[in-house]
Amino acid sequence: MTADADIIDALRGAGLAGEGEVVLQPLTGGVSCDVWKVDSPAGPIVVKRPLPQLRVAAEWLAPVERGTSEVRWLRRARGVDPHIAPEVLAELPTGHAFAMRFLPGCPVWKDELMAGRVDADFAAQVGKGIAAVHAATAYNEGDRADFPNDDMFRALRVDPFLLYVAQHDAELAPALTALATNLSGRKIALVHGDVSPKNILVSADGPVFLDAECAVYGDPAFDLAFCTTHLLLKAVWSGDARLNAAAAALVAAYRAGIDWEDADDVLLRAGQLTAALLLARVEGKSPAPYLTDPEHKRIVRDQARVLIGAPQAIDALVAHWKRT
């Protein structure tokens, strides 16, 4: 029996596919999972199955159990606000796959940004949504117990984005290693781990967050840094000042939602992480695929290296970020 046949049998067992022909329509764009759209008796659904080896040039292994963690994050986020995550319909007994409701008519935020449709108000909604999940889960022992995913987060985020660069850059290795240690040791709130425009849908009700495979109970500053990094990279790629404004709006809205610790502390940690992540997206295991121009890479690399050595709070970093 093929892997696809296993998925079809599992969908039938969950009551999400009939006995007739079932077509798994592959969806593209991700590096960490097989993703299909399926027409079910209840309407279109999406099926995800995590891969043990991510689709990147370097060796990048990650435990497939992250599919279960993603389901837990999606359900927890819907408990905070039912509009910010899709409904999970079933966990499937094959490869930690699961099925969730397909949301028609909701473009991917990355596609909107790459097409020049930049909406700072939507970016602010993203910041507000991230902060809402962090605020609802901060210092919550139940949430901490539900997401003991340190090894997974290390494999998917700490090693490839921070320590991989440290291993290849002796000058910055001490700072990056210390940052990785601090990130791994800080347990404050439920972290999505992959808040990227490619994982956010633009719906009539605001942002819908997808792909929470990296979910961990950790430092909320990481989510803010990860999303801001993508906006700043796209600002260099496009030269569009509106992306700087969108990043500033995201950070400001997030800051307004911080009620679990001193906001300045969160923003400083987020600034440190953003600097490291910016460098990782040109020198890490997962370089930004659209950043192909050597001059663009230099602009990002030069600024990131300075910021790692002389950290700034993320709002100041965004305000001073240069596109050229």
Give the list of residues 6+ apart from residue 1 with CB closer than 8 angstroms, or none: 9
Long-range CB contacts (within 8 A, 24+) of 37-41: 37/102, 38/11, 38/99, 40/11, 40/16, 40/99, 41/15, 41/16, 41/17
Which of the 8 DSSP states describes residue 105?
T
The pLDDT value given to residue 288:
94
pTM, to two decimals: 0.89
The pLDDT value given to residue 274:
98
C-beta separation of 131 from 257 below 8 A: yes
* pLDDT, mean of each 10-residue run, the chain (324 residues): 67 69 69 76 80 52 66 95 92 78 92 97 98 98 94 91 96 97 97 96 96 93 98 98 98 98 98 98 92 97 97 98 96
The pLDDT value given to residue 116:
97
172: nearest Cα among 70, 319, 30, 310: 310
Domains and CATH numbers, the chain: 3-101 (3.30.200.20), 109-320 (3.90.1200.10)
The pLDDT value given to residue 152:
86
